[in-house]
Amino acid sequence: MLTIGPEEAGQRIDNFLIRVCKGVPKSHVYQVLRSGQVRVNKGRIAQTYRLVEGDTVRVPPMRLAERDESHVPAAEFRVLLEDDALLIIDKPAGVAVHGGSGVSYGVIEQLRASRPAARFLELVHRLDRETSGILMLAKKRSALTHLHEQIREGRLDKRYLTLVKGEWLNRRQHVKLPLFKYTTPDGERRVRVQSDGQPSHTVFNLLRKYGDFVLLEAELKTGRTHQIRVHLASSGFAIAGDDKYGDFALNRELQKADGKRVALKRMFLHAYRLVFEHPVTGQPVNVEAALPPECLRFLQSLPTANNNNAVSETP
């Protein structure tokens, strides 16, 4: 028997059960709901029922094969900001934000394992596994709802740093290409530009030229899957180290040091700035995460542009 608190209020009963009954297949959760075994205030409810603070929920026993939970190691990540409503971390490249698609666990599972007393901890947004930088989590449902509203209304400003090779001409360039999500035969999630895809808009600001490479700031106006990567690749400027949409010959070349240039063994895409309205205080919040050392070392090993090509200092 579970009593609904303020953080669970407003959530649909099916989503609540899926979160509470970790490891239970969704199909089984819905089967239990349809059969009437789940009761709210001693009565049957539809799977679309939204919980109210003070509701008493009866969750029936659901037998599972015993699982070893120790395979999710507790982990902490560099904290950029934390209070009663928010947790903002600097995610390393190569770490998934959540389990699934061949990944046993991700940031969210590791943080929950390291904070067993936390009643609520959910991702506000996502980052690709290969992308480093700012990742925001909500510690209250009310904060999560408020932040999602800001995302929908375009009031949350997310900016990335990325490196491409080629002759980038414009100081500020808008890319508006519709993006279509699909799955390859082997189950890999991919995105391509397609006329009936979702409207997608990225603004790229030229920051500095490093020999044949260009450092760009990507300003997201929409938040589609792989948006920055596909917008750049479709414009003829694949991100250095991108193993999904990139220039594979260039990637192989960059993985080995060449003279003064050090090796780059990751994708050069980093979420470095996030500006939003605090969901509790209403005050503006500006969070920044510096370039990771491996990206900074790579930049510093590239030829320095002459003064005519220097647009700005590296953020």
Mapped onto helix, strand or coil, the DSSP state of residue 155 is: coil
Asked if 99 and 89 count as a contact pair (C-beta separation under 8 A), the reply is no
Of 14, 68, 84, 128, the active-site residue reads 128
Is residue 270 within 8 A of residue 133, CB to CB? The reply is yes
Q: Where does residue 221 rank: exposed (0-12), middle (13-18), buried (19+ CB within 10 A)?
A: middle
**186 tagged catalytic:** no
* Token digits of residue 104: 């046993």
Q: CA 41 to CA 13: how far, in whole Å?
A: 13
Task: Using alpha carbons, list the distances in angstroms from residue 254 to 1, 164, 231, 258.
Answer: 57, 12, 22, 8
Say what angle helices 26-34 and 13-20 make with each other, to 10 degrees. Answer: 130
Name the residue among 121, 178, 163, 173 with its Cα closest to residue 297.
163
For residues 205 and 309, give the distance between their C-alpha atoms in angstroms, rounded to a whole number: 14
Asked whether the CA dihedral 16, 17, 22, 25 is positive or negative, the reply is negative
Phi/psi at 253 (nearest 5 deg)?
Answer: -65, -40
Q: Give the Cα-Cα-Cα angle 158, 161, 165 (nearest 5 degrees).
A: 140
Q: Which of 136, 160, 157 is nearest to 291 (CA)?
A: 160
Kindly compute the dihedral angle of the four CA atoms of residues 149, 153, 157, 159, in this order, to the nearest 10 degrees: 100
CA–CA distance, 95 with 185 (Å, rounded to integer): 24
Instruction: Pull the structure tokens for residue 237.
Output: 């400027």
Known catalytic residues are 128
